[in-house]
Amino acid sequence: MNREEALKLVKEYLKEEKHLKHVLAVEAIMRGLAEYLNEDVEKWGLVGLLHDLDFELVGKDLNEHTKKTAEILKGKVSEEIIHAIMAHNEKSGVQAQNKMEYALRAADAASGLIIATALVMPHKKLTEVKVKSIKKKFKSKDFARNVSRERIRECEKLGLELTKFFEIALKALQGVASKLGL
The domain limits of the chain are 3-177
Cβ proximity of 181 and 20 under 8 Å: no
Give the model's confidence band at 60: pLDDT under 50 very low, under 70 low, under 90 confident, else very high. Answer: confident
Segment 86-103, tens digit of pLDDT: 999 989 999 999 999 999
Measured CA to CA, the distance from residue 10 to residue 146 in angstroms comes to: 24
Q: What is the pTM of this model?
A: 0.97
The pLDDT of residue 89 is 93
Lowest model confidence (mean pLDDT) among 3-12, 38-47, 54-63, 100-109: 54-63
Residue 62 above 90 pLDDT?
A: no
Question: Could you tell me the end-to-end alpha-carbon distance of the chain, in angstroms, rounded to an integer?
Answer: 29
Class of domain 3-177: mainly alpha
* Closest C-alpha among 141, 134, 105 to residue 29: 105
Mean pLDDT score across all residues of the chain = 97
